[in-house]
Structure 1
Amino acid sequence: MRLIVFSALLGSLVILSGCGVYSFTGASISPTVKTISIQTFFNNATLGPSNMSVLFTESIKDYYQQNTSLSLVDDNGDLQIDGYIADYTITPVSATASGTDDQADFASMSRITITVFASYINTQDDEFDFERKFSFFKDFDNSQDISSEEQVLVEEIFDQIILDIFNASVANW
């Protein structure tokens, strides 16, 4: 009996993986789509770490390679993604009273917000093409040194933006 159940389960997995349309990452990519090209996302933001362009571009390439079976090509992929880092801001989000008349009140929490503009072209089906902005933020405690935490916060923000771009492009969410 176990052998029959195991065989049925294994057969189902083989059938699902052979379809080429469904994957366990949620991507629904046509079987005719084989390649993706991701151009450098330049940094057009006035603030932020100097390595944001390289960090974002390499992270998005890695994400698509790890979560799809698409081959990464330099130009003219079946799917094409490009864009730029549009904005990087740090804003106060939580005020704290100083407790004395001699000192000004201050922000105890601040927020880093990053906005990325992305353009997506599906050469097989232009119904899914888009050009839009993706934005995400992380809050941090001002008692911490921002220079020591900034890289980690930027990476976490980029992870979410990349997931949003992935979902909008190949997961069609």
Structure 2
Amino acid sequence: MKKLLYISTFIVSSLLFISCGIYSFTGGDVGNAKTIQVDYFQNQAQLIEPELSQQFTQELQDLFTRQTNLTLTSSNGDLYFSGEITSYRITPMSATSNQTAAQNRLTISVNVRYVNKLDEKKNFEQQFSFYSDYPATSQLTGGVKETAFKEILERITQDIFNASVGKW
């Protein structure tokens, strides 16, 4: 009787372990896709930040190669991302008693076209945007710019990941 209990426990636990194998700990469901193609995102905003296009494209590629088992390719990817940076703007957010800005906000918006060649129902074109606030007494250079870019690009790329393959 004890032997039967051990065998049934082993079978049940094995089935549970195997059935959970289709899930990813990162939340990315890439289906049967093996490759990903991320085109260069041109900066078409009115205000141009020279390094933003390269940095955004690289961040998006890195996120997908880190959190999925997809191989990055330069053409004919099963999953395909293209688009452009549509907005890069700095706006004053709060005022001081001297009627000057106390805080500025950097906002970046990106238009993304996603094509899933294996499941066309998942295709979309969508605008993603996020912001970072910084003190008005600081210039948007050096460490302030790096911190703002890191915060914004991390959030936008994660939102793109969730919209494309992060659906549950």
State the TM-score bracket (shorter-chain normalisation).
0.7 to 0.9
Residue 67 of structure 1 deviates from its aligned partner by 0.3
Once the two structures are superposed, what CA deviation does each residue of 1:72-116 show, in whole Å capped at 9, x if it has no partner?
111111110111111100001101121xxxxxx201011000000
Out of 109, 112, 123, the position equivalent to 2:117 is 123
Distance 1:13 1:58, change over 3 A: farther
**Any runs of at least 4 consecutive aligned residues in structure 1 with deviations exceeding 3 A, and if so which?**
7-15
Compute the TM-score of the two structures, normalised by the length of structure 2: 0.86
Residue 150 of structure 1 deviates from its aligned partner by 1.3
Q: Percent identity?
A: 36
Name structure 2 gaps, 5 residues minimum: 1-5
Matched, 1:141 2:127: no
Out of 154, 158, 163, the position equivalent to 2:158 is 163
The aligned residue for residue 103 of structure 2 is 109
The aligned residue for residue 88 of structure 1 is 88
Secondary structure of 2:141 counterpart: helix
Distance 1:155 1:9, change over 3 A: farther
Alpha carbon RMSD of aligned pairs, Å? Answer: 2.2
Query: How far apart, CA to CA, are the structure 2 residues paired with 1:97 and 1:81?
Result: 46
Name structure 1 gaps, 5 residues minimum: 99-104
Distance 1:9 1:91, change over 3 A: farther
